[in-house]
Amino acid sequence: MNLESQWIAGFVDGEGCFHVQVNKAETAAAGYYVLAEFVVTQHVRSIKVLHAMRKIFKSGVVRPCKDNIYQYRVRKADHLRTRIVPFFMKHKLKTRKRLDFMKFRWILLLMERGEHLTPAGVEKIQAVRATMNGKQALSSPSS
């Protein structure tokens, strides 16, 4: 299946998500583990487009998510930085998801600099994350 770049941008504007998780982890340097992932969700009926995207980005996995729902996801930070981010810098998202993408990119930059390994860095990431994917900013970034 051939997917044009603009089709992918449009599809991700609809079905994609730039997601950041911050979870407590006693073994992590700052007490928290930061996970960034690019996810596209789809009913099993259309699983072919997820596999086609995996082939195009040469990264990630297609995994079942819940009943008949599958996800294509990329978690490898290096691939997010070198394959996913440049793609959406070139083929711009048109919805407000572009703002989430820009925040996601910024968090990846912080992670590249190792800031997610410090309490101050985790706090910065938490503050930005709290404003992503339809959430409103918290009154205090550290809350």
Sites of contact with a second copy (CB under 8 A): 1, 3-15, 42-43, 45-46, 48-49, 52, 94-97, 134
Query: Within a 10 A sphere around the Cβ of 31, how many other Cβ atoms?
Result: 11
DSSP string computed for 14-36: HHEEEEEEEEE-TTSTTSEEEEE
Cβ closest to a second copy, residue 97 vs residue 124: 97
**CB closer to a second copy, 8 vs 85:** 8
Min dist. Cβ of residue 46 to a second copy (A): 4
In the complex, the smallest distance separating the C-beta of residue 43 from a second copy, rounded to whole angstroms, is: 7
The label of the residue with tokens 């007490």 reads 31
Hey, CA dihedral for 93, 9, 34, 115, is it positive or negative?
Answer: negative
Quote the CA–CA distance of 93 and 96 in Å, as a whole number: 8
Nearer to a second copy, 53 or 74 (CB): 53
Q: How far is the CB of 11 from a second copy (least distance, A)?
A: 4
